[in-house]
Structure 1
Amino acid sequence: MATIYQNGEFVEETWVRADAETEVSADTDLLVPLALFLEDADAFTSRTGKTALLVEPGDEVEKAATYLDQLAYVAVSFPSFADGRGFSTARDLREHLNYQGDIRAVGNYILDQVPLARRCGVSSFEISKPEVLKALKAGEWPEVTKYLQPAFGAIEEIPEGTRPWARRSFRDLAVAAE
């Protein structure tokens, strides 16, 4: 069972992580690594159980582009807080592949990376670190309020002065008004 943080709420979910030796029933919810998924994508997407895709750093998610709308979500792996390739993968899914579904961060990210991942298109987080869970439950959100690149989609922001490439969060306005 995994704790998922999405839209300010916590839910518990159970997914089986598939590998080449995994034998599961057709109605089991599976999280499938990209390489295994591509071996027989039609079989994974035609099951009665839900299928989600796990993308590791260095994987070419573009190879699964025609199947993205048939997936429950796409999990983007952050194997280390120092490995930023997950941010690029999330942004590629949203901006280049026009993926509209749930992008879930999984792995060893830290709390400071949660708002940055949101800016790149991540919409849910599988919490594996107890300190991240504790901080999010306490309402901590370590947002940086000034940025040098625009955010994707639902995040509202405004240009910073006369520099259209510089951005600032609407949260920054509330702080300045206090």
Structure 2
Amino acid sequence: MALINHLGEELPDRWLYPQQPETDAMPAPYTVVPAEALQGLERLPPDARPAGVLLRPEQSADLIALLLDELDVVVVLFEKFRDGRGFTIAHALRNKHRFMGDVRAIGHLLPDQLPLLRQCGFTSIVTPAEHPPARWRNGNAAQDQSVQAKPLLQRLMNNRSSDHGA
């Protein structure tokens, strides 16, 4: 797995992503902890910075809202390709909570999702092993200007009218 920015460029990654994150683990510098580990905290320990947290698809950005000013990265997990809840989480972090740090996607992602990831507020992606950084860069230029996310109803209506128009 490699880290890329929202443009598909590879970056060095200093962060640790525990395979089996412990919910009682205290934040440590450059370690991503599950959101549950931060519950009940009003402030992060001073020696925990830079600090990162992992949000699962079923969790809300509201869960970590009080600590957002102290977090450097929020990692949003995509457990399945077809699960769009991670996009909603990123959108809430940026627009509702005004989080200015790194919003990072991790998990089951496809290179053709890069424009939508960027549009929802993601600034970095931990690429899956089956989709190395070169695949994200190659698809980025072609899709960058041509793909615009539209509301589902609008996309469905456009598809339906084009099916009946011919």
Whether TM exceeds 0.5 here: the answer is yes
User: Any runs of at least 4 consecutive aligned residues in structure 1 with deviations exceeding 4 A, and if so which?
Assistant: 21-24
Q: Could you list the per-position Cα deviations for residues 139-162 of structure 1 after superposition, in whole angstroms to 9, with x for gaps in the alignment?
A: 32234434435xxxxxxxxxxxxx
Moved more, 122-131 or 78-87: 122-131
CA separation of 1:99 and 1:69: change in aligned 2, threshold 3 A: same
* Structure 1 partner of 2:95: 95
* Structure 1 partner of 2:4: 5
TM-score (norm 1): 0.70
Match runs of 1:62-101 below 5 Å? 62-101=62-101
TM-score (norm 2): 0.74
Aligned-partner Cα distance in 1 for 2:136–2:126: 12
Give the structure with the larger helix fraction.
2
Q: Does 1:14 align with 2:14?
A: yes
Offset at 1:88?
0.6
- 2:47 aligned counterpart, secondary structure: coil
Report the identity percentage: 25
* Structure 2 partner of 1:33: 34
- Aligned residue pairs total 146
Offset at 1:12?
2.5
CA separation of 1:74 and 1:48: change in aligned 2, threshold 3 A: closer
Offset at 1:10?
1.0
* Structure 1 partner of 2:124: 124
CA separation of 1:6 and 1:45: change in aligned 2, threshold 3 A: farther
CA separation of 1:132 and 1:95: change in aligned 2, threshold 3 A: same
Higher RCO (CA-CA < 8 Å; seq separation 6+)? 2
RMSD after superposition: 2.6
Q: Could you list the per-position Cα deviations for residues 121-175 of structure 1 after superposition, in whole angstroms to 9, with x for gaps in the alignment?
A: 11111112332423124x32234434435xxxxxxxxxxxxxxx99xxxxxxxxx
* Structure 1 partner of 2:107: 107
Query: Which sections of structure 2, spanning at least 5 residues, go unmatched?
Result: 156-166
Contact preservation (8 Å) 2:77, 2:106:
yes
Query: Which sections of structure 1, spanning at least 5 residues, go unmatched?
Result: 150-164, 167-178
Aligned-partner Cα distance in 2 for 1:23–1:105: 22
